[in-house]
Structure 1
Amino acid sequence: MKNRYYPNLASPITINGVTFKNRIFGAPMSNPELDPDCHMREEDIAFHANRGRGGLASVCIGLGIVEAVGRSHTKEVILYDDLSLPSLKRMANEFHKHNCMATMELAHGGKFGAARSHSAAKSTLIGPNDELNAQGVPVKAMTEEQIEETATAFGSAARLVKEAGFDMVLIHGGHGWLLGQFASPYFNKRTDRWGGSLENRMRFSLLVIEKVREAVGPDFPIEFRMSGSECIPGGYDIDEAVEMAKMIDGKVDIIHVSAGIHENNDVFVITHPSMFTEHGCNVQYAAEIKKHVKTPVAALGGINDVDMMEEIIASGKADIIEVARQSLADPYFPEKAFSGQKDDITQCCRCYSCFFNYLSNRNYCCAFNPVIGDELEHKYGFPATTPKKVVVVGGGPGGMEAAVTAAQRGHSVTLYEKNSRLGGQIVHEQHIPFKKDMYHFIEVLAKRCEDAGVDIHLNTEVTPEEVAAMGADVVMTAVGAKPIIPQIPGINSAKVVGLKALEGRQPSVGQKVAILGGGLVGSEVAIYLDMIGKDVTVVEMKDTWASDAYWMHKVAMDKYIRDSRIDIKVNTTAREITDAGIVCNTPDGEILIEADTVLLAAGMKADRASADEFLNTAPRVFEIGDAIKAGRVVEAVKLGYYRALDI
């Protein structure tokens, strides 16, 4: 019997004798940290297992490296070491507890091997050609013998993975890694039988598929990941990708179609779509390839909406949906969808918090999900708590997360919000197209508060005296932050507006807008106003714009801004706001930026004065989010969640 909510997406699919319980697979996600021997820790196993627990039919562990010279950084599972077996067996067992199939990605960095390794300077890498890579590390063209050895290493790694109890292997042939380097006319400049024609460029991939098949046998699924287009001048496009797919059709069991190459910033935000691209932007490549092959095809690319997933399967664009970041925002979204709880699904907003923390802080993270990275701690739940009376002051993301968490723990929770809507600063983003998922998050949080029984009072600015008279056991202050207002002549002019001007379907600004402040917020507002046809100039005192943005997000913004009409003026200080616009000082002298509207985006500061007034209103008073320090949603949500657990 088909699922009543998502009959196509929830339907099982059998791949080479293995039945997957639905059509949503977990795309490869690697580990930001491993033990000193590069084996998975219990924390890593708990992280991946939690994705399996949420209803994914399969979860793929990313970047299992088949030989030492192919390591692209120091935290990849090494599949050329039999001592990896114990942690891999533990991982497979955890997946199987939830009827989730275990998949391992087989990868090789090729010319990008050791790119982030401390030993990179001492390494000699291998690839299609003799060259120096972008890090200045020498790369030697692989000999016939090395090609054969590396293909055999892929087979040996696959055999190890199968021995560990995994159900499928995924051969990474895309994104500019080794097999993709050989397949690419952009990378591969060889003139022997391993380069030149497409047949020659694909010879290495076909040899690897052959070796893997020999190693795992005929009845073990093999997934092959490829780029449906390299998305760069000189790279292959979808027409050649179709021919590549035809070559592997019938030799593998799933053709997994991604896009782009990883080590190119402009294309990185296509491979891992940013919030400035359409959801499902790479599905087009899978849909075209599916027309020409018999092998089941998997699609992916910033897909976070189960309705879109259902449509992709129902319309025949693909047989399988692969997700990565969406399974961080809400690991349980498949189970929620299939049980009629779509309204409780947190959708990924593609903010790159996960990538930033992976690369910089070496941990798992999600702006919307405070549990990510702490799955081992949460595995067996938390001790029971005595019900208490809790008052939350402030209904932004941190306050709502605290309220719903405390209520779910059995406390009696009342939340007071001075505005007419919950959401804090995110309310300003309701009508910004690339922020719709961020706004959706506060809608989900508001519903969770209601479902958990939180007593919500809107349009209610409570005083410390009123809160103290309530007799609460715990008060949680989430009063937020205040905008920084530069003290310059004309700042009180009627033409000066704050972010509240963005709340309507049409923002309350003129045609010529000068944004005072070129940080993350100001830069995003500039993009939004440019999208709707405004003439935008950004004024920033620092020598760079969006210095507070995650670098991946800034790459995505830069990609948009280069093709826009936005004028960003760095090293520029506003001196006065006049009827004509903003008078500014620059290194080249004084200028006038004509503006009908001046929008303040100079930053935020914690509202310490308001927060301090509540310090003695209950036996225990906790502060949350911007009440402590103006920051990001991720900090507010995480602190709100864990402070609620402290009650």
Structure 2
Amino acid sequence: MKNKYYPHLASPIKINGVTFKNRIFGAPMSNPELDTDCNMRKEEIAFHENRARGGLASVAIGLGIVDAIGRTHTKEIKLYDVMSLPSLKEAANAMHRHNCNAVMELAHGGKYGNARGHSNADGTLIGPNDEVNPEGLQVRSMTDEDIYRVADCFAEGAKLVKEAGFDMVLIHGGHGWLLGQFSSPTMNHRTDKWGGSLENRMCFSLLVIEKIREAVGPNYPIEFRMSGAEYTKDGYTIEEGIKMAKMLDGKVDIIHVSAGIHEDPEVFTFTHPSMFIEHGYNVYLASEIKKHVKTPVATLGGLNDPDMMEEIIASGKADIIQVARQSLADPYFPEKAFSGNADDITRCCRCYTCFFNYLTNRTFCCAFNPVIGNELENKHAFPATTPKKVIVVGGGPGGMEAAITAADRGHSVTLYEKNSKLGGQLLSEQYIPFKQDMFNFVKVLKGRLEKSGVDVRLNTELTAEQAAAENADVIITAIGAKPIVPPIPGIDNEKVVGLEALHQPTPALGQKVLILGGGLVGCECAIYLDSLGKDVTIVEMKGDWAADAYFMHKNAMIIAMRDSNIKINVNTKAKAVTAEGLACETTDGEVTFEADSILLAAGMKADRAVADSFYNAAPRVFQTGDCIKPGRVVEAVTNGYYRALDI
């Protein structure tokens, strides 16, 4: 089903396995102020969270600097310092409360890296050439060693960002930043393999992409920001921009097409369009590039009208819309547009009030929005909700929490659960002695549902069509995840069972139990089954068991297993279920582990097909919990709570 107001703009898009809930992404906005160690304060996090709350599919934090010498001012996040991790984690969590993906921009100032006290030991900056920059500072031409070192810095920065829980990295390769300096014919005068032809000038960017991919792995989105044209005298035009994009095609997951060179005042008003330039001025750059690449293309540039945004996506000019200033004028404009309230959108007038205050007062500000820059103080002063008819699909902990919170806020809530009991995956904990406190949480939530007046419908598998017929104002899908079933011969054998085998006082398992999957869940099951006297064997394809456990909890499991008979086999890949048990490939060759029962604990995967079927079954449809990304109870409950606050 499609949004009846903006069917193309509201449609989700999957980027390298990560689902973005619509086509409006928050373009990078850097922080005018940080704490003394260059970590984000509560104020900066509240600013970015406010953008996320309004319905953007992602929010990008700008100018994460990957190398000390690359800082252009003293208030940029230091991605080369592991101590940046705590505030980055907090920022990512803030985005995720609103089903908004968190993105970090990776940047290096190159010849403009003039932050006080952060130059090389010899007092010079680094860039493509030996020169003196516009501020009179000496710039040294980068050696091969410099180039490979900085590429590694980008990779380490990306690795830190991923560890912090961000969903994508954005490489800044445009606007005259270091990678843009190398790709520019006006700024790169080298005659070696890093200069001259466009192919040579792009080598540094391609090296950085290669290093980042090695650091983050194949299944992590990488966005690359480039200038489609430089707009400067003797700078490259869209024709060369197309050639650059073709070199990026297939190597990154989004080609983000911007324009111009940031440090050129004549071009600044094209890179960040002024009110004197028609809306969508830079869209043609993305449109031309999209004709030549298969990679999704993003466009931007002073866009503030959802009708224009819809036309851009519908006509195939771009796949993604990026906005920055518009998300200050009205952070809630996506939700307003998709709910049929576009007339209530405050549109950015491109007056540069935000830029002026950023550069002079080091504050976030908007001429039209008094909350901007004061989000922390106004956190509880957002407009009160009006009672709505809300449907929650799924009775796991996340769905229950969402239903309770929505009902407590005055909404009329009906919760549908396809099974006969509430609890979702926590039902597996009911008969495990050391999990009783966790299962008790289900009972507590059930009590709260009753007190809150939520209408609970068990044994009811609600379809999108049925939900649409209910004419609800809001639908929250909390349908959870489904088990990963390895595609191996014999997997449908009756001896192979899921975690539902534990949903009874005496597990429906034989004496010899093989657990396929040695993550946290599989290992906890092993401890439980061992306590019942079962002969337990764990098979895990990774090189470590319970790699997804908190280190303290894993230490506790090590102690709990110390006197057990549990046999753990890592670096072991299942090949086939046989009459004897499970045939596996190990580092020592093929081995068959005898088993009466094989318990599947190979992990979970988001049930995207069912979740996505509910898209636009109501004016607003929110997703929460494992149907976005399988996680822990804490993520499910937290996301359910905040999703209900977004109504």
* TM-score calculated relative to the size of structure 2: 0.58
Rounded Cα–Cα distance in structure 2 between residues aligned with 1:132 and 1:10: 48
Residues 331-372 of structure 1 deviation map (CA, whole Å, 9 limit, x = unaligned): 000000000010110000000000000010110000000000
Q: 1:344 to 1:118 in 2, by over 3 A?
A: farther
Deviation at 1:119, TM superposition (A): 6.6
Q: 2:215 matched to which residue of 1?
A: 215
Structure 1, unmatched stretches of 5+, are 385-647
Q: How does 1:187-266 map to 2 (within 5 A)?
A: 187-266=187-266
Q: 1:581 matched to which residue of 2?
A: none
Q: 1:105 matched to which residue of 2?
A: 105
The one-letter code of the counterpart of 1:190 is R
Q: 1:382 to 1:14 in 2, by over 3 A?
A: closer
Q: 1:6 to 1:191 in 2, by over 3 A?
A: same
Rounded Cα–Cα distance in structure 2 between residues aligned with 1:198 and 1:360: 37
Residues 373-407 of structure 1 deviation map (CA, whole Å, 9 limit, x = unaligned): 010111123899xxxxxxxxxxxxxxxxxxxxxxx
Q: 1:276 matched to which residue of 2?
A: 276
The one-letter code of the counterpart of 1:274 is S
CA contact (8 A) 1:173 1:224 kept: yes
CA contact (8 A) 2:69 2:118 kept: no
Q: 1:615 matched to which residue of 2?
A: none
Rounded Cα–Cα distance in structure 2 between residues aligned with 1:59 and 1:148: 30
Q: How does 1:166-181 map to 2 (within 5 A)?
A: 166-181=166-181
Residues 180-209 of structure 1 deviation map (CA, whole Å, 9 limit, x = unaligned): 000000000000000000010000000000
Rounded Cα–Cα distance in structure 1 between residues aligned with 2:307 and 2:113: 39
Q: Is 1:38–2:38 an aligned residue pair?
A: yes
Give secondary structure in 2 for the equivalent of 1:28. strand
CA contact (8 A) 1:299 1:322 kept: yes
Residues 577-603 of structure 1 deviation map (CA, whole Å, 9 limit, x = unaligned): xxxxxxxxxxxxxxxxxxxxxxxxxxx
Q: 1:369 to 1:227 in 2, by over 3 A?
A: same
Rounded Cα–Cα distance in structure 1 between residues aligned with 2:303 and 2:379: 28
Q: 2:69 matched to which residue of 1?
A: 69
Rounded Cα–Cα distance in structure 2 between residues aligned with 1:134 and 1:263: 9
Q: Is 1:128–2:128 an aligned residue pair?
A: yes
Give secondary structure in 2 for the equivalent of 1:64. strand
Q: 1:335 matched to which residue of 2?
A: 335
Q: 1:27 matched to which residue of 2?
A: 27
Q: 1:357 to 1:120 in 2, by over 3 A?
A: farther
Q: 1:135 to 1:338 in 2, by over 3 A?
A: same
Residues 58-80 of structure 1 deviation map (CA, whole Å, 9 limit, x = unaligned): 00000000000000111110100
Q: 1:197 to 1:85 in 2, by over 3 A?
A: same
Q: Is 1:306–2:306 an aligned residue pair?
A: yes
Rounded Cα–Cα distance in structure 1 between residues aligned with 2:118 and 2:241: 35
Q: 1:81 matched to which residue of 2?
A: 81
Q: How does 1:495-510 map to 2 (within 5 A)?
A: none
Rounded Cα–Cα distance in structure 2 between residues aligned with 1:244 and 1:123: 33
Rounded Cα–Cα distance in structure 2 between residues aligned with 1:247 and 1:351: 36
Q: 1:324 matched to which residue of 2?
A: 324
Give secondary structure in 2 for the equivalent of 1:154. helix
The one-letter code of the counterpart of 1:73 is H
The one-letter code of the counterpart of 2:158 is A
* TM-score calculated relative to the size of structure 1: 0.58
CA contact (8 A) 2:66 2:154 kept: yes
Q: 2:361 matched to which residue of 1?
A: 361
Residues 79-136 of structure 1 deviation map (CA, whole Å, 9 limit, x = unaligned): 000000000000000100000000000000000111x647779841100000000000
The one-letter code of the counterpart of 2:283 is V
Q: 2:184 matched to which residue of 1?
A: 184
CA contact (8 A) 2:229 2:241 kept: yes
Q: 2:151 matched to which residue of 1?
A: 151
The one-letter code of the counterpart of 2:304 is N
Q: 1:2 matched to which residue of 2?
A: 2
Q: 1:58 to 1:146 in 2, by over 3 A?
A: same
- What is the root-mean-square deviation in Å for CA atoms of aligned residues? 1.5
CA contact (8 A) 2:69 2:119 kept: no
Q: 1:90 matched to which residue of 2?
A: 90
Q: 1:123 to 1:341 in 2, by over 3 A?
A: farther
Q: How does 1:486-501 map to 2 (within 5 A)?
A: none
CA contact (8 A) 2:64 2:104 kept: yes
Q: 1:346 matched to which residue of 2?
A: 346
Q: How does 1:188-587 map to 2 (within 5 A)?
A: 188-381=188-381
Give secondary structure in 2 for the equivalent of 1:60. strand
Rounded Cα–Cα distance in structure 2 between residues aligned with 1:77 and 1:362: 15
Q: 1:279 to 1:118 in 2, by over 3 A?
A: farther
Rounded Cα–Cα distance in structure 1 between residues aligned with 2:383 and 2:51: 24
Rounded Cα–Cα distance in structure 2 between residues aligned with 1:28 and 1:269: 17
CA contact (8 A) 1:120 1:137 kept: no
CA contact (8 A) 2:71 2:118 kept: no
Give secondary structure in 1 for the equivalent of 2:150. helix
Q: 1:540 matched to which residue of 2?
A: none
Give secondary structure in 2 for the equivalent of 1:170. strand
Deviation at 1:233, TM superposition (A): 1.1
Rounded Cα–Cα distance in structure 2 between residues aligned with 1:190 and 1:283: 32
Residues 135-165 of structure 1 deviation map (CA, whole Å, 9 limit, x = unaligned): 0000000000000000000000000000000
Rounded Cα–Cα distance in structure 1 between residues aligned with 2:10 and 2:330: 17
Rounded Cα–Cα distance in structure 1 between residues aligned with 2:289 and 2:75: 33
Q: 2:461 matched to which residue of 1?
A: none
Rounded Cα–Cα distance in structure 2 between residues aligned with 1:371 and 1:286: 33
The one-letter code of the counterpart of 1:104 is M
The one-letter code of the counterpart of 1:230 is E
Residues 408-439 of structure 1 deviation map (CA, whole Å, 9 limit, x = unaligned): xxxxxxxxxxxxxxxxxxxxxxxxxxxxxxxx
Deviation at 1:261, TM superposition (A): 0.2
Give secondary structure in 2 for the equivalent of 1:69. helix
Structure 2, unmatched stretches of 5+, are 385-647
Deviation at 1:234, TM superposition (A): 1.2
Give secondary structure in 1 for the equivalent of 2:266. helix
Rounded Cα–Cα distance in structure 2 between residues aligned with 1:176 and 1:129: 14
Give secondary structure in 2 for the equivalent of 1:370. coil
CA contact (8 A) 2:68 2:118 kept: no
Rounded Cα–Cα distance in structure 1 between residues aligned with 2:329 and 2:154: 32
Q: 1:28 to 1:123 in 2, by over 3 A?
A: farther
CA contact (8 A) 1:282 1:301 kept: yes
Aligned length: 383
CA contact (8 A) 1:296 1:318 kept: yes
Deviation at 1:11, TM superposition (A): 0.1
Q: 1:367 to 1:194 in 2, by over 3 A?
A: same
Residues 545-571 of structure 1 deviation map (CA, whole Å, 9 limit, x = unaligned): xxxxxxxxxxxxxxxxxxxxxxxxxxx
